[in-house]
Amino acid sequence: MHAERSPVPTALLINGTVGVGKTSVAEGVGGLLADAGIPHAVIDLDWLRQSWPTPSGDRFNFGIMLRNLSSIAGNYLAAGAVRLVLAGVIEDPEDRKLCGDAMGIGLSVCRLHAELPVIHERLVRRHENEPATLRWHLARAGELAGILEQAAVDDFTVDATTRPAAEVAAEVTRKAGWL
């Protein structure tokens, strides 16, 4: 399967609460783009914010993430990428605008949704030997799901409750109009 390449670079952010599968789905979208011969990059926004301590008033280090995103996106675009697949969390319309501005290209947002008990099961498996981290993620999952539902910054939503990540990635890619 080879999609027609668009000369206009665009980005897609896969948004959602902790444990919903953002990174796995982003990697799946990247695989589908590679199979179609479309130059792209997959960027996990969590890695772009990893530093300590965080500045006062910037709990999740959003500022450094934006600066890093600007540099990294620019590098990928200069190298020929026409699709940037992002995995991360955008909690409000202003943050969405700032992400798009940092890259200098159009940004679509897909929110992955999964039922909270399923997310909790995933988090228990992921953090089984980290009790403090698990408690934080379990509490944050519901809190963040509510924030994202209220914020409505997404262009479309895809259910990721029970389907494999590859199947979810295919639906995300189709709904984004990329393949």
CA distance 47 to 149: 24
Q: Higher confidence at residue 1 or residue 60? A: 60
Contact 72, 91 (CB under 8 A): no
12-44: pLDDT as tens digits: 999 999 999 999 999 999 999 999 999 999 999
- The predicted pLDDT at position 1 comes to 45
pLDDT surpasses 90 at 115: yes
Which of 62-66, 97-101, 140-144 has the lowest average pLDDT?
140-144
- The predicted pLDDT at position 59 comes to 86
Map 113-167 to HEC letters: ECCHHHHHHHHHHHCCCCHHHHHHHHHHHHHHHHHHHHHCCCCEEEECCCCCHHH
Q: What is the mean pLDDT of the chain?
A: 94
Q: Higher confidence at residue 6 or residue 129? A: 129
The closest alpha carbon to 76, from 28, 22, 33, 17, belongs to 33
pTM over 0.85: yes
- The predicted pLDDT at position 6 comes to 52
The closest alpha carbon to 85, from 48, 113, 43, 32, belongs to 43
